[in-house]
Amino acid sequence: MHRFLLAVLRRDLTLAARRRGDWMIAQFFFVMVASLFPLGVGPEPDMLARIGPGVLWVAATLASLLSLSRLFADDHQDGSLEHMVLSPEPTVLLVLGKSIAHWLIYGIPVLLIAPVLGIQFNLSWDAILVLELSLLLGTPILSLLGGVGAALTLGLRGGGVLLTLLILPLYVPALIFGAGAVDGVMTGTGAEAHLSLLGAFMVLSLMISPWIAAAALRVSLE
Amino acid sequence: MPDALLSVHDLACARGERLLFKDMNFSLAAGELLLVQGGNGQGKTSLLRLLTGLARPEAGEVRWRGEAIRDVNERYHEEMCYLGHANGVKDDLDPLENLRFADGLHGRAFDAARAVATLRRLGLSRCLDLPCRVLSFGQRRRVALAALLLAGSTLWILDEPLTGLDVHAVALMEGLIRDHLQAGGMVVATTHQALNLEGVKVQRLLVGSVAIPELV
C-alpha cells in the first residue's frame, strides 16, 4: 500500500523535475502578488505589517490554484490517469499521493519564500515564525481540498476558472485561521487557538478529501 | 459455460439519452479472442470501458471468475490490462522510465533487462534514451504495447491496438496476440483492420445495428 503511494510520489516528482518551468510559475506568481501590495498601498511600515499576514496568505492560496488545475489534467490527456485508476490499488491512495506530491512541489517552496516576503512586509521575527507554522499546517489543506476541485473539474472546458470558483470558498477557513494566527501573535492575543483550529482542519481534510476526490475522479473519467 | 473467466450479463450502455446497446450477453474462456466490431459511434469503446470498470453499466453486470467486477475491483485489475486510444505514455520520460513507473504503480518489481529486451523486440532499440516527446505516434504506441507485455496480465482489453502501427508492427502484434492466447490468456479487442489469426478461437461481437463487411 505504501509502496504504491511512494511510486505515485516518485513519478510526480520526477515529472516535476523534468518540467521545472511549470511549477516555478506558481512560485513567481506568489512573489509577484505579494510584492505588488507594498507598491499599491504605500510604504508605511505599520500599515504593511498589519496587512502582511493576510496578503501573504491570499497570495499563497491563489498560487496553489494556479498549479492545481494541472494536477490531473496532464495525466488525463495522455491516458496515464486511466492506467493509474485501473491499477490494483485503491484510487484514494492515488489521489492522496498526487496531493502530497503537489504539496511537496508547491507548498515547500512557498514555505521557503514566505519568510523573505515577511521581511518585506516588516513582520517581526515572532510573526514570521508563526506565519511559517500556519503555512506548514495550512498549505497541505490547500493541496488536499484542491485535489477535490481538480478531480471535479477534470475534462471540463474552462475547468481552471471553475476550479477557482469552486475551491476558493472552501479555502476560507484555512485563510481565516492562518492569517488570524499571525495577527494574534502581533496583537498579543496569542496564536495557539488559531493554529490548533488550523491543525484540526488539516487533519479533517486529510481524512475526508481523498475519498471525495477519488469519487469525483471516477465520475469525471466515466 | 463453466470455464468462462469473463462474462457479461444483460449489459446495457447509454451515452447521455441515447441507448447504445442492451441485453448484451457473452462469455470468454481462457485462450479466446473476442473481436468487437461495429461502425463508428456504435459503442465499441464504451463497451470496452464497461469491461475495464472505468464506466458503470446502465443495467446488467460484468463478471470476472463469476463475481461482479465492482466487488472484486482490485483482484480484477491485477489480472487485466487496458490499452485505450491514449497510450498512457508520459512525454517527458524515456521509454524505460515509462515502463519503470508503470511497474511501480502496479506493484511489480521492475526488471530493467526484461524491459530493455521487450523494447528491443518491439523495434525501439534506437529510442531507449530519448524522451517519448520526440518519438513518432507509432513508436509511442509501441512503448504502450511494451508496457502491456510486461504487465503479464491474463486479460488484455485493447481499443484499436493497431492504430498508427506499420505493417511490421501489425504482424508483430498478431504474433503477440497469438502467443498470449496460446499461453492461456484472453484478449478483447476492437479493430477496423484485418487480422491474420490462424489457429485462434475467435468470437465476434457486433455492437450496434450497422453491419460491416467481414474483416478477418
In sequence order, what DSSP letters do the residues of A164-193 get, joined into one string?
Answer: HHHHHHHHHHHHHHHHHHHHHHHHTS-SHH
| B87 in A contact zone (CB under 8 Å) | yes
Using an 8 Å CB-CB cutoff, list chain A residues near B75.
88
Range A192-211 average pLDDT: 94
Are B107 and A18 in contact (CB < 8 Å)? Answer: no
Q: What is the pLDDT of residues B105-141, one digit of tens each?
A: 887 888 888 889 989 888 888 888 888 888 888 889 9
Are A86 and B88 in contact (CB < 8 Å)? Answer: no
pTM: 0.89
Using an 8 Å CB-CB cutoff, list chain B residues near A90.
74
**For an interface test with B, which of A10, A19, A86, A94 has the most B Cβ atoms less than 10 Å from its Cβ?**
A86
Using an 8 Å CB-CB cutoff, list chain A residues near B107.
3-4, 7, 87-89
- Give the closest residue to B21 by CA, choosing from B3, B39, B5, B1: B39
**For an interface test with A, which of B13, B45, B100, B105 has the most A Cβ atoms less than 10 Å from its Cβ?**
B105
Are B78 and A88 in contact (CB < 8 Å)? Answer: yes
For B4-89+154-206, CATH number? 3.40.50.300
Q: What is the pLDDT of residues A85-124, one digit of tens each?
A: 888 888 999 999 999 999 999 999 999 999 999 999 988 9
Number of structural domains (chain A) is 1
Give Cα separations from A130 to A109, A111, A118, A125 (angstroms): 17, 12, 11, 9
Q: Quick one: cell of A221?
A: 473519467
Range A134-159 average pLDDT: 91
Residues B131 and B94 sit within 8 Å (Cβ to Cβ) = yes
Using an 8 Å CB-CB cutoff, list chain B residues near A221.
54-55
Average pLDDT, chain A: 90
Q: What ipTM score was computed for the predicted complex, to two decimals?
A: 0.85
Write the DSSP symbol of residue B39.
Answer: -
Shortest Cα distance, chain A CAs vs residue B106, angstroms? 5
CA–CA separation, B98 and B88 (whole Å) = 9
Query: What's the pLDDT score for residue A168?
Result: 92
Is residue A185 pLDDT above 50, yes or no? Answer: yes
Are A83 and B102 in contact (CB < 8 Å)? Answer: yes
Are A10 and B104 in contact (CB < 8 Å)? Answer: yes
Residues B208 and B42 sit within 8 Å (Cβ to Cβ) = yes
Using an 8 Å CB-CB cutoff, list chain A residues near B84.
79, 82
Residues A13 and B104 sit within 8 Å (Cβ to Cβ) = no
Residues B199 and B32 sit within 8 Å (Cβ to Cβ) = no
CA–CA separation, A98 and B206 (whole Å) = 40
Are B82 and A79 in contact (CB < 8 Å)? Answer: no
Range B83-96 average pLDDT: 88
Give the chain A residue nearest B151 (alpha carbons).
Answer: A87
Range B55-69 average pLDDT: 87
Domain that holds residue A215: 2-221
